[in-house]
Each structure stands twice: as C-alpha cells, then as structure tokens.
Chain A
Amino acid sequence: MGSGRRGSCGKWLRSESRLAGGATDTRRRRVAWLRSREGVLAPSHAMWRCLGALVSGLAQNARLRTSLSKRYLCRPASGGRATIFALSSGQGKCGVAVIRISGPASGPALLGLMASKALPQPRVATLRLLQDPGSCEPLDRGLILWFPGPHSFTGEDCAEFHVHGGPAVVSAVLGALGSIPDLRPAEAGEFTKRAFQNGKLSLTEVEGLGDLIHAETEAQRRQALRQLQGELGQLCQGWGETLTTALAHLEAYIDFSEDDNIEEGALQRVDGAVRGLREALLAHLQDARRGQRLRSGAHVVIAGPANAGKSSLINLLSRRPVAIVSPEPGTTRDVVESAVDIGGFPALLSDTAGLRDSPDLVEQEGVRRAQDRLAQADIVLALLDATDLASASSRRFLETVVTPGGPSPPNRRILLVLNKADLLPEGMQLRGPDLPPHLLLSCKTEAGLEAVLASLKRELAAVCGDPSVGPPILTRARHRHHLQNCCEALGRYEQSKGQDLALAAEELRAARKHLGHLTGHVGADDILDVIFRDFCIGK
C-alpha cells in the first residue's frame, strides 16, 4: 500500500498487469487486493498520481498520457463513494477562502493539485503551489491540509485548500476539482450526512443542523434562480425538456414497443434529439462568452408599494443618483441595480417597481420583475410610507411580503423600514398592534440612516458568513460540471445504442440526472407522464 502510494506510474501498471495475469488469481482475491487499497489506490486514484507525474514530466510522455487518460478518465473507479467538494468559507471580508473535499478520491485529488508524489503530513498545514492537474497551469499558492479518514470531519479522507479569497482563484480551484473524475460538487447537507453516517456526529450535534441546511438549500435555490434567469435559464429549460422527451421515448420503446405499436421511428427521433442536444451543449461549453456575468455580493432587494421612496433609498445608499426619483407613483418600471460596499460587505442593491396593480403594460412587466427579484433576494429591504400605513396597498404589502403566513422562515431576511418619518407629526406614536419590528427613516433628512445601515450591516454579515451564499462562481462551477457530465453521457449514448439499448438508456438517464441538478429532478413518474402523453399504451 505504501509502496503503491510512492511508486511511479509504471510500477503501478506493472503490478496491476502482473496481478491480472496470474492465472491462479481468483477475482475475489483481486477485489480484496483492490479493496485493501480503497481510498488510496483505486485505479483512478493511482491515475491521478501518475498523471501528475507525467504532466510535469517530459513531452515524449504525451502519447502515453493520452492513452492513460483515455483509459482511466472514462472509466468509473471501482467501488467507493463519490468524492464531493464545496467552498466552505463565506465571501466579503474573507481574505482566505476554504475549499473542502471529502471522499476516497480526496488524496489523489490533493496530489493532482499539488503536482506532488507524496501526500503532506496529516493535519499539518503546508504551503504549496496549486496547479490545474489537466493543464498544469498554476492556480494559486495556498495552504493545504490533509485529514486521512477516519480522523476527519466526515470520517472519510478529507482535504482542505486555503487559497486567496478572490473570485478568480476560487473559481479556478473549483473548476480544477470539478474536472477530476469521481469528484463532484456537494449537494446541500451532504457533508453533514456523511459525517452522520460515519458516526462522526452525535444526535445532539445533528439538532439545529437542519436549519442550517435549510438555509443552505434555500441559498442554493436563490443562486440557481439568479443563474437561470435570462438566456442561460431558457437554454437549460429547453435542453431539459428535449432530454426528458428523448428519454421518455426511449423508455417507451423499451417498455412498450412489442405490445403496443411504437414504431421504429421513435428511436430515430431519439437519436436525432440526442445528437442535436449534444452539439448544442458542446457549443455552449466551448463558447466562453455565454458564461453569464454575475455580480458578487449579497442580493439586497428594495421592495414596497408604489411611491414609498424606494428609489430615494437606493440613491441614498449608493451615494449617487442611480434611479430617477419623482413624486409620481410608478416612476420605476424596471429593476435598477447598484453594487455597493456596506461596512466591508459586498452588496448588490436592486430598486424595483412599486408593487401595485397597474393597467400600464410596461409597469405590469416591471412589477413581475420586482416579484422575481424578491424570490431571489438574500435580504429584503421592505419599504413603507410611514404616513400611509393604513392604506390598502401598505396592508397588502405587509401581509404578502413582510409576514406571509406567520413568521418568516429563518433564512429570508427582511428589514422593515418606514420612510418619510420627517412627515410624521412630532411625538406621534405609530399605531397598529400587528406592525412587525421596524426602523424609522427619512430619505429626505437622512434621519435614521445610521440605524438602517447598522441593521443592514448585521444582516449582510450573517448572509456573507454563510458559505453557500458564496460567490456566484460556485453556482457556475456546479453548472459547468453538470453540463460537462451531461454532454459526456450523451456521447456514450451514441456509442452504446448500437449494442445494447438498456445500456444506452442508462446513459440518457445519467445525462438527465445531471441536467436535473440545474433544472429540477425528473422522476420515473414524470417520464411515464410523457410516455402516456405521447403514445397510446395499454391493453
């Protein structure tokens, strides 16, 4: 085991072939051998170590590298769980970002990024130059920590990369990890679940984690929503539908073609759809311009009824006139954005159209966009006219946005601000027993601004400290990972469809699963729905 770890690639291959060549060897013994190296030296793990050595090696090795990567990159590792990675630090005031990986391929991935032959000493921080294992491009100089299982947070082999907190570096490291076979971005709560399964978390520790993961899931959902707005979202939805239909038709061809007449043409249409989809995905993945530019920072959405002073507030917070202000209700019709720094935390302010029923088509669209923004917000600055609290529009806003159905979920952060405090008669008490906690502000006199900024800063600190609300690059890395994998599965479909339709269907299922991470999971029943919609099946 130790020698395998230190040995060169060639040695490993030789030992493999010797082992497989022994005529007396039973498969059982071979598997036992493999298992004894599980987590350290499954083929793909060894491959990573080998590949690292090769990449830094001489150019004449290039041919061998290609054949190696072909042989192992496409091959699933035998046994063991998938290895997961995630950014586990927040954004904003973070000079250092922490990226964590867990699973049997952690060691090989670490070796790959370090371009080293030996793992660092366990649980000791080591300064290393990190490089992309594929292209050998340097990524960053950072600290590396290696926690061999079971003495780790999850009980599995874990590693941590402490790199510079800039989005470019974090993005590059995540991208490099995502390109390693057997590594994938973690799902919400996955680290926790693994820790629990391996007996690393006591029951009491699990308590309270649910809320954390709820927040994590919600934050990921909001991130995904942002990412899926606009062109990319529409593309993904379109791809998802195409693939679901193709899969459903293939499943129908397998399950029903002999009893119910599903003609051969169905299969040809599936082939056509898959080919088209694969081309579209390839083009998308190669076209760097499509990578949607997303602005970092917590999304703070200013919302409220018409004419509450939302545009005045964004101008005040931005210290420049970004939005047009007029006494006319419905002045703001589109979303106005402004990136600001509040107390050291990056925030993206959005001024939205006042929520009201308007006959004006343009304004209606503005209201729709405002509601979209609300759904994606990390923090909502709910703004009301302090002199107009009794009006129907204010009431409705309070009921639907500020306190929808009782206490708001812990992850949705809302600051209720009552504007135009300067117009209130001196000494007048704001009445209304059902008015939630709020702040008084006058955009005009700037009275109360300090308190609003302090509260906002507190909320921002909480949001930015949450790793999952990290920079959008995390979402983008996830997208790229799944699109890439989807594309590869579609390629394998084309290869296997001639041999075995059940195998080909497996590839389409895998492709659909990857797209499902972006567009929502598609279950067996959804597939059956399409089958029964498109074909006449039954007896």
Chain B
Amino acid sequence: MGGPRTIGGVMGRVHGALRPRAPRHDVSKDGGPLQSLSTIRSPLTLSSCSAPVTVLNRGDFCPALTMLPLGHWSCRVAARLSKQPLAISRSYGGPAGPHYDVVIIGGGHAGTEAAAAAARCGSRTLLLTHRVDTIGQMSCNPSFGGIGKGHLMREIDALDGLCSRICDQSGIHYKVLNRRKGPAVWGLRAQIDRKLYKQKMQEEILTTPLLTVKETAVEDLLLTEPDSDHPGKCRVSGVVLEDGSRVYAESVVLTTGTFLRGMILIGLEAYPAGRLGDQSSIGLAQTLENLGFVVGRLKTGTPPRIAKDSINFSILNKHMPDNPSVPFSFLSEAVWLRPEDQLPCYLTHTNSRVEQIVNENIHLNTHVKETTKGPRYCPSIESKVLRFPNRIHQVWLEPEGMDSDLIYPQGLSMTLPPNIQEQLITSIRGLEKAKIVQPGYGVQYDYLDPRQITPSLETHLVQRLFFAGQINGTTGYEEAAAQGIIAGINASLRVHGKPPFVVSRTEGYIGVLIDDLTTLGTSEPYRMFTSRVEFRVSLRPDNADSRLTFRGYSETGCVSQQRYNRASLMKSSLEEGIAVLKSLQFSSYKWKKMIPEAPVSTIKSEPQSALDILKYEEVDMAMLAKVLPEPLTKFAECQELMNRLKIEATYELSLILQQKEIEEVRRDEALQLPKDLDYLTIRDVSLSQEVREKLHSSRPQTIGAASRIPGITPAAIVNLLRFVKTTKHKKESADKLSLNDQYLSKRDRLQKIEL
C-alpha cells in the first residue's frame, strides 16, 4: 500500500527531540518548526525504567522473581540477539539510523502481543525491551483467565494472539469457573508455570518472522510535523535509544506498564520502582507530559510469596483441576499436561487475629493511608478489613510452577512492614509455620487518561503513537494483552494506509474494554467484568472465533490461514447444524417417546423442533444423534461442535432479541464524527459548555460513542448529527447491518475442509 514510506522525504523532516541534557541530540539537521519537547526536570522526581513490568523485577527487591533460574534458553536468546543486527538505514541525506515499520516499547503482556500482531500483519517490527530475559514475565499472580478475563483471552486467540496458546503449553491447573451458571459467563482460567510461560513466550517472540528484538532502554521519542490528513499536533517518527542512537519508525507503540513514576511501597518505606539513575524513561515521561498528555495516578499491590514446604497443606481444603482440561485456544485440541499430573490449589481463610493485626498496625502503612485513587474493589487485606470488618476472607494458595517452591496466597495482597506481614501470615490456618520468601508490597504509578486515545489506541495528540496496557489505566495481564494486540494491528494498518481495526462493544469484550476506556476514562485500575458487557449472551467464550477471526483475517491479515479455515468450517457446520435441528419437527408426544429424559410438556399441541428440545438442560446433541442418526450423526462427531450447538440452542431466543439491540447500537456507530472537530469553538450549534467540555475530553468517534458519555443529552446528539460524515463508507456500513452477520458472505464460505 502506498503509505508514507518515502524514506527520504520523511527523514528530511525528522527533527531530533531536543534534549539539552544530552548535547549529542541538540542539533537537528535542518532546524525546524518543532521546538524542544523535552526539558530538564529534576531526575529525582522521575525514576523508572523503560521495560514494562520491571517494577516488579528489580533484582535487589524481588528476589523471588529474579531468582528464577534463567536456564540455557536465556543464553540462546542472548546469543541470538547479539547476532541479530538491526535493519540498516535506508535513509540518505537525513540522520542515520535503522528504520522499521513499527517499533514496540516494552516486552510485557501488551508489548509482546503488539509486536507479534504487527509482525503478523506484515510490518517489519522492532521490540525494544530493557531486558530480554523478562519478556513474557508474569509479574503478579501466577494465573491467566477468569470470569471476563477468559473471554478476553478467547478473543485475543481468535485474532491469532499469543497468550492463549502459550497458556495451553504452560498451565499447571486448568479450571473453568462458573460452570453452573450458563456458558455465556464461563470463565476459562488456569494456574500458569511462570518460568515455562516466559520461556515459551520468548521462544515465540524470537522466532516470529519480521520481528526483531533489541535489548535497550528508550530515551525519547522522535517527533516531526503532523500528516495533514489526520488530526494531531505532531507525528512520531522514531525513538532515541539509551546510547543516543536513533531508530526510525512509521508507528510506535508504548506499552510501558507501571514505569511512569512507579513507586514501590512497603510499610512506611518507599522505593522508586525503576532503577535509580535510569535516565532513559525520564525523557520519555517528560516528552509525554510536555506534549500535553493528562496524567493520573493509580495504585495496586501484590501479596507476599510463601515457601511451599513451610505450609501445612494436610489440614487445608484441596481443590483439584478440571478433568478434562478445557484449553484456552481454539487451535488447541488439548493442553500439554494431563489433568492427573496437574497441581492442586488449596483454600484457607483469614480470621479475627488477622483483622486485629491489621487494625493494630494500620499506622505503619503509607500505601493504605494515602489518598491515591485505589480501586473500589478491595485490593489488599488491609482494605478488606477496614471496609468489611468482622468477616472472614478467602485465601487461595496457588502454585507458582511445576518445580517452583513458592506459593502465591491470592487474597493477601498487603503493604505492611515485613515483620508484621510474617505475624499476619502465621496467624492463618495452615500457614502457622509459613516462611515469607518475599514480602508483599504496593505499587503506585502514573497512567495517562485513556480518553486521550482513539478506539484504535492511537493518541489524539501524536499521530502514529499508540498506547496499550497499564499505561491506559487497566490492570491485569489479559486486559493488557487485549489492548496490545489491537495496538499492534492498528500500528501496522496505519503504516500501510489502511483504515483502523476497531472492535465494537457489540462484537467483543475487547470492544467493551476499549470503548469504556476511551469514552469514559477510568479513575481506578480498570478490570474486565462480565457485568460491564451489555450483550453478554451474544459475546461468549465459545463463539469468539465467529465474532473476530473473519474480520481479523480479511481486514488486518493478522490471522493465519489455518485458523481462518478452521473457523470457517466451524461456522458453516454450526449454521448447517442449526438449520437441520430446526427442520426436525415432531409432536411433543413423539419427542417424549424418543427422549424420555426431556421434560417436554405433552400439553403443547404444536410440533417442536429438535432445536427446541436441545434447549432443555437434560438433553444434549449426543442424545439427539442417537435417536435421529440419519441427519444428526455427522454433527455428533466433533465434541466442540456438539457443545456449541447446545449453547446456541440455549440462548436462541435471547440472541434474536439482542441482535435487534446490537443493530440499533451499530446504526449509531455507523454515524461517524469528524476526528478534527473542535468542540470548544464550533459555532452555530447550541451545545452547553459542559457538553462541549465532555466531548472535547473524550473525542468520541461516532454518534454511538458520544451517546454513551454521561451527561450528553439527546438534544446534543441531534445537534451533532449535522457534523456526521455522510460518506459512502456510512452507506456501506449501513448496508452491512442489514445482513444478518450470523451468516457468512459467499467469500467467507469455504469449500469443505477437514477439521
């Protein structure tokens, strides 16, 4: 595609970010209209490091995490890296430096997904991380998935993302939550072996075609004049590395986790989260601030880690994994480990002694006392005790890995001084002799108000600069990975001059997550819950592929042919199955005779279809196939197909109803607002100042998004209609709506391919 790839032209306009502190960057080749964006600040106020999740990786602070043996793999990584030269600059006349399509800063859960997605989309991608051996590090809980989060993982997988497949190769205790509550809210979850996950992730990242990894800190962003066809006050054109060298890029994705002014708090002590004197991220943080990004502050925490052999498991409630294990990925037939070889979790509870210890020592706790916005939910045992006194609270003892001798006590996040932590832990049943290997602590960090980014995760202020992960105010690996994959895809699409890939909240949890962030912002670490999702019955873990794989394949190229084929086959089989089930109609009497287990009421006189019968809890596809082998046997050959047909039957009526509402929302989302509308100054339109300010800070891209901003009235919406772009695009998307998208277009319909 004819993107702005004219290197000479681009280079000619590049101006080094002026950095008085680093004279070597002072001189911009041809001078230029962009003034210095980074100015000197006291380095003491900003101490951090540029790698994501490194807050928790400090060698001197988190021995448990960095003590993990690096093994031969890390050596291979290093060897491979050192041999891998950066792409040679193709510039002439401009400053020298390698040139990439997409540069990703950070190798955490957002960064890895972003890098791999950009590369899959065909962009030459560079991943910059402070330490290669921390790529894929799980810095907090040793688990992936859960209710809502499991949904996100299925959607990431539907777009060919990494984390689900890697979890299927590194889990040590797989369990589907909410089994009794209906398949729309099943929560796929697994305890993960930290070491294995990291190792597999690094393998994956280092073998991805078009993806280069470089171990370096990033000092600053290179900025240049904005493209005239997009809003934004400047455009990112690359990054400055710690050694002063430059890497040029068409798009840059920032996934810096909690590095922005990260502070670790424990008891009354506070440490800067990054490495002391690590000046690289000062520049970055300053650049962002000087550019005018609005910054907020959040806090979170992590529990102490306990030595496994110091716990008396024999008196605790043992919880076994599911048998069989349900894999995360649509592509995995099974997980790598047999259920009988998986590790158990244990459950214990807090007690009144715990409460007493917290109350007696609350004065020793800076983290809890401070007014920094914490989540409404209770992040720590201290806040649990303070907000809900006289109760006992669950503590899950989770394994950290197959051969790890650490246990993660989920529910005991705390920031008390270490000696008090020990007192508290040992007052809990089963932990009487427990040894703390690493104390719990709190983290406070800056995040950027996510209303400053578009639904494609590009910033409004700086063209081609994308944010993903905790920098946007979210919490959780899955939330980070979900943003990462979207940012990576869009960074790549932007390079190739293609329209952005936006997941609507009618299409996926990813859409809800990003729409909530970009239209409403967040004042607490944002976590995915199913209760945030309006179309919960439609957006299920089982059908994430039908929702996203086809779009990912045709619009972005981030989905492999294999996955596309599999999803297509599954979709056409489902449609055929539903059609056949509907066509099989018999009287209630006959159904009762064929399937006595089904509580069919014989009073009903109208014939009922097999799909109606499949709705009953007591009936499954295997039973139907047994009594009606002629048309149904072929649908009973694949377990996944049988399960999915059953789920479709369960929700049929609700789905029809939701489809209507979904179309209503999509109609509003097809009405696009211009990106460069200046809400504060537009004339001849009666919008109150309050409405103007709200629109200005959220910059909704569609009428649909605008209508979800609290305080935007129906009248304001009608006033905005006159700005709606009446383009062909709108017409097309409206036409598309009229097609029931449960049904594939001809192009998507595949010839028969064996599963």
Contacts and interface: CB of A to CB of B under 8 A. Distances in A.
B575 interface: yes
A143 interface: no
B376 A529 contact: yes
B671 A536 contact: no
Interface string B388-427: 1001011010000000000000110100000000000000
A258 B714 contact: no
A254 B185 contact: yes
A381 to B, nearest CB: 26
B585 A537 contact: no
B576 A76 contact: no
Contacts of A192: 718
Contacts of B578: 27
B376 A532 contact: yes
Given A23-B631, A203-B726, A210-B718, A536 B685 contact: no
Interface in B177-215: 177-178, 180-185, 187
A76 to B, nearest CB: 5
B605 A189 contact: no
B605 A67 contact: yes
B182 A500 contact: yes
A193 B726 contact: no
Interface in A182-226: 187-189, 192-193, 196-197, 203-204, 206-207, 209-211, 213-214, 216-217
A27 B744 CA distance: 12
A536 B394 CA distance: 10
Interface stretch (B42-50, B377-385, B493-501): B377-385
A187 B715 CA distance: 11
Interface stretch (B3-11, B103-111, B308-316, B526-534): B526-534
B686 A214 contact: yes
Interface in B527-551: 529-532, 534, 536-537
A539 interface: yes
Contacts of A259: 146-147, 177, 394, 396, 410
A189 to B, nearest CB: 4
B659 A189 contact: no
A394 B713 CA distance: 33
Interface stretch (B432-440, B480-488, B646-654): B646-654
A172 B660 CA distance: 28
B367 to A, nearest CB: 14
A214 B713 contact: yes
Interface in A257-290: 257-261
A26 B536 CA distance: 27
B383 to A, nearest CB: 7
Given A25-B583, A500-B650, A527 B531 contact: yes
A255 B582 contact: no
Size range of the interface on B? 35 or more
Interface string A480-510: 0000000000000000000111110110010
B664 interface: yes
Nearest to A76: B657
Interface in A63-102: 67, 71, 75-76, 78-82
A500 B178 CA distance: 11
Contacts of A25: 579, 583
A503 B654 contact: yes
Contacts of A80: 660
Interface string A6-21: 0000000000010011
B583 A261 contact: no
B536 A27 contact: no
A22 interface: yes
B685 A210 contact: yes
Contacts of A254: 147, 178, 181, 185, 530-531
Contacts of B728: none
A502 B585 contact: no
A31 B582 contact: no
Given A30-B579, A210-B686, A539-B410, A79 B740 contact: yes
A193 B375 CA distance: 38
Given A536-B384, A537-B377, A255 B148 contact: yes
B617 interface: yes
A75 B656 CA distance: 10
A500 B184 CA distance: 9
Which of B582, B651, B686, B718: most chain A Cβ within 10 A?
Answer: B718
Interface string B35-75: 00000000000000000000000000000000000000000
A432 interface: no
Interface residues of A, number: 70
B393 A261 contact: yes
A71 B606 contact: yes
Contact of B184 (A75, A260, A502): A502
Given A206-B718, A531-B531, A537-B378, A76 B653 contact: yes
A213 B413 contact: no
Given A255-B148, A536-B393, A209 B718 contact: yes
A506 B536 CA distance: 8
Nearest to A523: B710
A156 to B, nearest CB: 12
Interface in B261-300: none
Contacts of B740: 31, 35, 79
B686 A211 contact: yes
A252 to B, nearest CB: 8
B704 to A, nearest CB: 11
Contacts of B580: 23
B717 A189 contact: yes
Nearest to A214: B715
B607 interface: yes
A538 interface: yes
Contacts of B736: none
Nearest to A80: B660
Contact of B375 (A21, A67, A527, A538): A538
B377 to A, nearest CB: 4
A512 to B, nearest CB: 12
B379 A538 contact: yes
A538 B377 contact: yes
A528 interface: yes
A75 B686 contact: no
A81 B660 contact: yes
Nearest to B606: A71
Nearest to B375: A538
A83 to B, nearest CB: 11
B609 interface: yes
Contact of B376 (A214, A502, A528): A528
A28 interface: yes
A43 to B, nearest CB: 11
A82 B663 CA distance: 11
A17 B684 CA distance: 57
A292 B657 CA distance: 33
A352 to B, nearest CB: 28
A58 interface: no
Interface string B722-753: 10001000000010000010010000000000
Contact of B384 (A213, A217, A538): A538
B382 to A, nearest CB: 11
Contacts of B393: 261, 536
Given A27-B578, A206-B722, A258 B178 contact: yes
B667 A197 contact: yes
28 contacts: A23-B584, A26-B576, A26-B579, A27-B582, A28-B579, A35-B740, A67-B605, A79-B659, A82-B664, A196-B721, A254-B147, A254-B178, A254-B531, A259-B394, A499-B617, A500-B183, A501-B180, A501-B181, A502-B183, A502-B537, A503-B184, A528-B376, A528-B532, A532-B376, A538-B379, A538-B380, A538-B383, A539-B410
Q: Which 9 A-B pairs have the closest CB atoms?
A: A27-B579, A214-B715, A210-B719, A502-B182, A500-B182, A538-B378, A502-B184, A251-B531, A532-B376
Given A28-B743, A506-B658, 10 more contacts: A31-B743, A188-B714, A189-B717, A214-B686, A251-B531, A258-B187, A261-B393, A500-B650, A502-B184, A528-B376
